[in-house]
C-alpha cells in the first residue's frame, strides 16, 4: 500500500481547473511566487461575501485580486499557492482557473513563393461596418489610413499607449487581410473588405503572447463600445489549448457573450494540425465561427486546394463539428508593421517594402471577417446566427471535411436577399 499523502490541490475536484492544478504541481513547497488566476464568483455571491474575498486576497506583499470580468462573473489577479489553498472553499468562490497564456496563431510555411489573393468583383467594400481586430495592435499603415483613416479607435491593454502601434506585426498583417485598401501597391494586395472600418485592440505583447483575462477585457470593451464604433465583427487570430468544455472555459464564455450581444465573432481554429481534436479556445465555442486554413497551391482553380497541414482539426473537446468554415491562409501577403518583431525576424518574407508574406489560421480568420463585412453591408439586419448560417450554406464543398470553402460571392448574394422572419422584423422596428 502506498504511503504517499495526497496533495491538497489534487483532491480539490472542480474547484481548480486542470491547468491550475498543473501549475501548483510544478510549484515547490512553500513557493511564494504568485500565479495568474481567474476566480469565478458564485451566482448568489452578495457584496459582503465579495468584499470579504477581496480583503483576504489583497495583502501588502504577494497577493492581489481586483479587476472584475463582468462577462463571466469573475475577477482576475495573482495569488500564491498558499492563498489559493486558503480561498478555494470561500463561500464567494465557484471555481479558480489558471490565467494561462494565449498566443497568436502564426505558422510560417517552408516554401513561400506566392500569395493567395482575396479580391473579388462584388460591388460591396464593407463600408459602414466595423471590424475589431483583437491582436498585437495595428500600425498606421497607408493601406488603412489613406486616402481616409479607417482605423477609428485603438486601445492598448498591454502597455497603455494611446497612439496606434504594433511591436510584433501580427495584428497589422491581420487587419490588412480583412480591410487593407492595397493603395500603396496599386490595389495588388487588397483586403477582403477595403471599405470597412477597423478598431485595433492590443492584447498580445511584442512576442505575440498574452493572458486569457486580457483577451476577455478586450471582448468586454467591444461589447461596451459596440454602438459607439458600430462594431459588428470581432476577429480573433489567437488562442490557447482547450482543456475543458466551452461551458467552463472563460475565454469561450466571453466570446459567446459578445455573440449574444449581436457581434459576429470569428476565431482561428489553431495551428496544431493535422492531428484531430486540436481545436483551440475560444474556437471551441459552438456559437462563434471557427475558421480553418487552406492551401491553394498557388493556382486559381479550387479543385486542387486542400486543408493546410498545420490547420487544427475537430471535433472540439465537446465533440462538436469544427471548424465551421475554411478560408485561404497559406502564403498570404498583407501589411508590414515597420520596426516590428516580424520585420526583424523574417526579412526574407518582406514583399515590396511595405508588405510581408505569412501563413496560418491567423490569416484565414480575417479573410472570413472581411467577407462577413461585405455581407453586413449588403444586409445590415443580419444577426450573428444569420451570418453563420449563410456562410455555411453557401460554402463550396470542395474540401474533404463536413463543411466547405468560403465563397464570398454566393454569401453576399444570399445575404442581400435574405428574408428575416416577421417576428424579427417587428422586434427590430420597435
What is the Cα–Cα distance from 330 to 350, expressed in whole angstroms?
A: 15
Angle between the N-to-C axes of helices 212-224 and 250-260, in degrees from 0 to 180, rounded to the nearest 10: 10
CA 36 centroid distance within chain:
20
Annotation marks residue 362 as catalytic: yes
Phi, psi of 409 (to 5 degrees): -60, -50
Burial of 303 (0-12, 13-18, 19+ CB in 10 A): exposed
Burial of 292 (0-12, 13-18, 19+ CB in 10 A): buried
Region for residue 182 given its phi and psi (left: phi exceeds 0; alpha: psi -120 to 50; beta: otherwise):
left
Q: Say which of 90, 141, 155, 170 is annotated catalytic.
A: 170
| Sequence-separated (6 or more) residues with CB below 8 Å from residue 292 | 269, 307, 308, 311, 312, 313, 323, 325, 326, 327, 329, 361, 364, 401
Q: Say which of 135, 167, 285, 324 is annotated catalytic.
A: 135
Q: Say which of 311, 334, 340, 362 is annotated catalytic.
A: 362
Annotation marks residue 64 as catalytic: no
CA 144 vs CA 123, 140, 333, 344, 399: distances in Å: 20, 7, 15, 22, 33
Catalytic center residues:
135, 170, 362
Amino acid at each position: 500500500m502506498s504511503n504517499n499523502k495526497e496533495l491538497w490541490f489534487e483532491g480539490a475536484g472542480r474547484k481548480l481547473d486542470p491547468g491550475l492544478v498543473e501549475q501548483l504541481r510544478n510549484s515547490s513547497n512553500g513557493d511564494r511566487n504568485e500565479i495568474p488566476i481567474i476566480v469565478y464568483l458564485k451566482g448568489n455571491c452578495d457584496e459582503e461575501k465579495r468584499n470579504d474575498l477581496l480583503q483576504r486576497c489583497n495583502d501588502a506583499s504577494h497577493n492581489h485580486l481586483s479587476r472584475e470580468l463582468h462577462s463571466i462573473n469573475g475577477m482576475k489577479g495573482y495569488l500564491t499557492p498558499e492563498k489559493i489553498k486558503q480561498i478555494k472553499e470561500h463561500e464567494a468562490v465557484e471555481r479558480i482557473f489558471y490565467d494561462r497564456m494565449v498566443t497568436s496563431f502564426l505558422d510560417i510555411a517552408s516554401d513561400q513563393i506566392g500569395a493567395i489573393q482575396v479580391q473579388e468583383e462584388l460591388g460591396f467594400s464593407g463600408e459602414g461596418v466595423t471590424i475589431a481586430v483583437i491582436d498585437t495592435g495595428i500600425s498606421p499603415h497607408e493601406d488603412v489610413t489613406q486616402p481616409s483613416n479607417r482605423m477609428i479607435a485603438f486601445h492598448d491593454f498591454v502597455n497603455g499607449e494611446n497612439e496606434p502601434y504594433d511591436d510584433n506585426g501580427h495584428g497589422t498583417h491581420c487587419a490588412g487581410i480583412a480591410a487593407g485598401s492595397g493603395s500603396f501597391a496599386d490595389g495588388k494586395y487588397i483586403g477582403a473588405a477595403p471599405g470597412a472600418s477597423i478598431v485595433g485592440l492590443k492584447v498580445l505583447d511584442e512576442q505575440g503572447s498574452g493572458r486569457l483575462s486580457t483577451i476577455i477585457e478586450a471582448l468586454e470593451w467591444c461589447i461596451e463600445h459596440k454602438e459607439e464604433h458600430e462594431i459588428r465583427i470581432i476577429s480573433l487570430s489567437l488562442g490557447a489549448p482547450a482543456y475543458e468544455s466551452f461551458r467552463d472555459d472563460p475565454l469561450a464564455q466571453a466570446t459567446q457573450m459578445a455573440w449574444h450581444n449581436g457581434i459576429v465573432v470569428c476565431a482561428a481554429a489553431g495551428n496544431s494540425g493535422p492531428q484531430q481534436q486540436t481545436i483551440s479556445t475560444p474556437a471551441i465555442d459552438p456559437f462563434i465561427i471557427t475558421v480553418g486554413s487552406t492551401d491553394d497551391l498557388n493556382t486559381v482553380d479550387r479543385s486542387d486546394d486542400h486543408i493546410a497541414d498545420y490547420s487544427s482539426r475537430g471535433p472540439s473537446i465537446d465533440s462538436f463539428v469544427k471548424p465551421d468554415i475554411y478560408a485561404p491562409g497559406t502564403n498570404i501577403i498583407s501589411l508590414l508593421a515597420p520596426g516590428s518583431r516580424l520585420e526583424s525576424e523574417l526579412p526574407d518574407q518582406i514583399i515590396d517594402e511595405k508588405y510581408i508574406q505569412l501563413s496560418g489560421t491567423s490569416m484565414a480568420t480575417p479573410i472570413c471577417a472581411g467577407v462577413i463585412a461585405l455581407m453586413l453591408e449588403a444586409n445590415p439586419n443580419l444577426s450573428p446566427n444569420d451570418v453563420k448560417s449563410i456562410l455555411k450554406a453557401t460554402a463550396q464543398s470542395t474540401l474533404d471535411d463536413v463543411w466547405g470553402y468560403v465563397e464570398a460571392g454566393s454569401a453576399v448574394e444570399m445575404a442581400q436577399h435574405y428574408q428575416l422572419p416577421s417576428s424579427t422584423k417587428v422586434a427590430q422596428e420597435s
